[in-house]
Structure 1
Amino acid sequence: MLKSFSLQEKSWIMYDWANSAYSVIISSVILPLFYKSITTGEGIAPNLADSYWGYATSAATLAIAVSAPLLGTVGDFPKWKMRLFKSFFLLGAVATAALSFTDDWRWLLALYMLTTIGFSGANIFYDAFLVDVATEERMDRVSTYGFAMGYIGGSTIPFVLSILLIMFGERIGIPRTTAVKISFLFTAFWWIAFTIPMLRNVKQRYFVPASDHIIHDSFARLYQTLHQIRSHKKMFLFLIAYFFYIDGLNTIIHMAAVFGDSIGIVSDMLMIAVLVIPILSFPFTILYGKLAKRFGSKKMILVGIIIYLFACLLAFRMTTAVEFWILATLVATSQGGIQALSRSYFAKLVPKEHSNEYFGFYNILGKFAAIMGPALYALTSQLTGDSRNGLASISLLFIIGGVLMMRTEEN
């Protein structure tokens, strides 16, 4: 499948395979359900538990968001892109392993926040490495294959093994809680093992001249970059649109499991349903890449936004497991495509030697957006007493993002 890719492209793609295990097991399914089982046992109301999870997600993303532009600027200096990538990756992997050693919901939230910071921080530099490993003509293809490989491998294999252990572990003497904790350790191991090709083979090709005053010079360049972004109409409009629609997408990813639990979908059914998402996402993500070559990235991003908007409206009246399966299928058709094409669409716009700097702003918008979405979901759920209203409120983000995306220039 990857024979047509260079060694650097393959190694870069493999990091999507590596960190996708974290995305599904820690961010989306098993940790949220484990957290909900503990909060339920302590008598915390479901909508309040959802709110605490949403607030924790918002707080963690705020921490990385405020530092993303400066981190991105520092990463443009020689060798710093890989140093910072490695530091955040290790923070995320170690904190993930540490989740296995506590049953306290407060500690789970604290460690979850650290894993979010590590995962999100590493992705700033991972995304920026796209300009180092692929030409503009190959960026859509490399980016979509990255997400696709993450879904079919990183999301599926460790998730299936974890589900089997959780559902049937008691038959071989492994209690369900222990099986959940083993899945956290396995996720950390998977993340570390398949990041090794990235660490060994991917090199920073584009950078700004070295400096003896990295921090001072980085602050000085931040203002210049912000001014350049504002004067680049296409880039500026895209980033604002991205701020809204990626907020909606990330909120659905982070809150799907706790939402399903709150409306009465049993945990085993949730895990099986969520397994369908990466399996279906694999071919659809590659399809998005192929269709983008024919119709353009912008049109395919808009298609994804419309599908997500429909999914939000469907969630408003969701009451059965069948409807949850329909929602999961809708999400699967566009989840990878819209993220992959957004990444490559932006990578084509930025100066290569300043890629980290620009991707710092790209990521700060994504992270600040990830603060607003979960907070909007949490606040709406808490005020109305119904998690359906919380998810339905996210449709507003897709509407705003889609309208702004339509205003960006085609070429």
Structure 2
Amino acid sequence: MSIADLAPVRRAREQRSWYFTDWAASAFQTTVAGVLFAPYLISIAENDVGENGHLHVLGLSIAPGALPSYVITFSTVLSALVYPLLGALADRTERKPDLLAGLAWAGAVATGLLFFLEGDNWAFGSIMFVIANLCAGAAVVVSDSILPQISSEAERDRVSSVGWAYGYAGGGLLLAVNFAVVTFHDALGLSTETAVRLSLLSAALWWAAFTIIPWRGIRRRPPVEVTHVDGGLLARSFGQLWATLKDLRNYPVALSFLVAYLFFNDGIQTVIASASTFGIEELGFAEGTVLGTYLLVQFVAMFGAIGFGRAADRFGAKQVILAGLAGWMAIVSAALVIPAGSLVPFLLLGTAIGVVLGGTQALARSYFSLFIPRGKEAEYFSLYHAMDRGTSWFGTLTFGLVYQFTDSYRPAIFALIVFFVVGGLLLLRVDTERGIRQAGNAPADVI
């Protein structure tokens, strides 16, 4: 008598739970990091400027319009130090879902405290955002390391793309509610500031509540094939990190992709982080209009992620990612000349961003997972996310500096084309088949 293979059924059940990690975390990425925080922080900072219209921080003169970029830059530099240690620790515990949930809930608490951001207390808001952003990226490191455990190589692009689609659906749904709150704040008896603060609080509650689903639905798995390192858990984590960095030279294709990803993802993340500031400060749109456009981006990106996943099944993830990077180059070029106050071109630009946004990120995640040796998922994804997350320091620093020198967001956003060009050229050199062999993984159906 044959016994049915129930492994695919169990994987599918875990995959459905895992999708809600993106659904939950996207509340922070859209409502907070993507739309409301940067322009609101600028308005708070403008209440504390000196005679020259600048903030004075540690002897430095900072334009309020550049402050969010510098805050994001600091958060990302800090994450580059923390995430690799977290990855080493995560691969040494069977309680990855618990670690994922704990980080998400800590980030949600910091996000909730942004409700108290008012007056001229921009320093408090900056600190809370750094904590929330750091926790958000750390939770994603753990979440992404679970992806290879709950999907086969053949399923990887589809599962990753559906996860991103869930993220855009969840983040977009909450954003739609917040769009209504901010747009119709007068009818609700709220000031604009109170509406924004309530929206920030809603993102914290959403993130915390929906994290319960993956926490309960993903199995705890014992670590596998972990290099022996003496000492306690923290000592072993530092030791494992050192072992991973030394071991990375044995996987040159994975390293090559990480370098390419450093560039093109910095460009993507900086566009995401700066889009609302660009729309409000440069093009002169109201916060409600930018929120509505961001909602459009979320809706289009949900289908874009699924479409890119299907295209990868036919053409291979690498080719589809390269096509997406060409789209990003066209987007930042269009931003240089888009007319101020003209809504239709702005909506078309948002639609184009939505098409390429989810697909390039989802496929980059699943593509990199093919190059990771078994048992080292969190460590390698920690290096991946040290170069990542709505939070890139080369890109945001470039954006902030160009704005500081030109006093315009147009050349600042166009300058990001360098990241897409360099990232695309480096990606062209990545040998997919060789990288899969080096990691000892099963070959994908389409290379």
What TM-score, normalized by structure 2, do the two folds share? 0.86
In the superposition, relative to structure 1, how do residues 368 and 324 fare at CA in structure 2: closer, same or farther (>3 Å)? Answer: closer
Corresponding residue for 2:444?
A: none
The 5 Å alignment of 1:11-410 reads 11-40=17-46, 44=53, 48-103=63-118, 104-152=121-169, 154-205=170-221, 207-208=223-224, 213-263=232-282, 264-320=284-340, 321=342, 322-366=344-388, 370-410=392-432
In the superposition, relative to structure 1, how do residues 230 and 368 fare at CA in structure 2: closer, same or farther (>3 Å)? Answer: farther
Cα pair 1:132 1:206 within 8 Å, conserved: no
The AA in structure 2 aligned to 1:218 is S
- Mapped partners of 1:336, 1:368: distance in 2: 12
What do residues 326-355 of structure 1 show as CA deviations (whole Å, max 9, x unaligned)?
Answer: 221111111101111111111121123111
Cα pair 2:11 2:151 within 8 Å, conserved: no
The AA in structure 2 aligned to 1:144 is S
The AA in structure 2 aligned to 1:392 is F
Cα pair 2:276 2:290 within 8 Å, conserved: yes
In the superposition, relative to structure 1, how do residues 176 and 385 fare at CA in structure 2: closer, same or farther (>3 Å)? Answer: closer
Cα pair 2:101 2:211 within 8 Å, conserved: no
The AA in structure 2 aligned to 1:298 is K
- Mapped partners of 1:332, 1:246: distance in 2: 15
- Mapped partners of 1:172, 1:369: distance in 2: 33
The AA in structure 2 aligned to 1:59 is F
CA drift at 1:150: 1.1
Cα pair 1:243 1:369 within 8 Å, conserved: no
- Mapped partners of 2:390, 2:245: distance in 1: 16
The AA in structure 1 aligned to 2:163 is G
What TM-score, normalized by structure 1, do the two folds share? 0.94
The structure number with the bigger radius of gyration is 2
What do residues 178-230 of structure 1 show as CA deviations (whole Å, max 9, x unaligned)?
Answer: 22211122111111111111111112436146975222232233233223322
In the superposition, relative to structure 1, how do residues 265 and 4 fare at CA in structure 2: closer, same or farther (>3 Å)? Answer: farther
Cα pair 2:403 2:409 within 8 Å, conserved: yes
Q: Choose 129-138 or 221-230, whichever is displaced more.
A: 221-230
CA drift at 1:94: 0.2
How many residue pairs get aligned? The number is: 408
Cα pair 2:269 2:390 within 8 Å, conserved: no
- Mapped partners of 2:304, 2:129: distance in 1: 30
- Secondary structure in 2 matching 1:172: coil
- Secondary structure in 1 matching 2:223: coil
Question: What runs of 5+ residues in structure 1 fail to find an aligned partner?
Answer: none
- Secondary structure in 1 matching 2:185: helix
The AA in structure 2 aligned to 1:177 is E
Identity of aligned residues (%): 29
In the superposition, relative to structure 1, how do residues 368 and 160 fare at CA in structure 2: closer, same or farther (>3 Å)? Answer: closer
CA drift at 1:45: 6.6
Q: Tell me which protein shows more helix as a share of its residues.
A: 1
Question: Which structure 1 residue ranges, 4+ long, deviate > 6 Å from structure 2?
Answer: none
In the superposition, relative to structure 1, how do residues 228 and 368 fare at CA in structure 2: closer, same or farther (>3 Å)? Answer: farther
CA drift at 1:267: 1.9
The AA in structure 2 aligned to 1:151 is Y
What do residues 68-104 of structure 1 show as CA deviations (whole Å, max 9, x unaligned)?
Answer: 1111011111235334323321221001110111202
The AA in structure 2 aligned to 1:29 is V
Q: Choose 236-245 or 87-96, whichever is displaced more.
A: 87-96
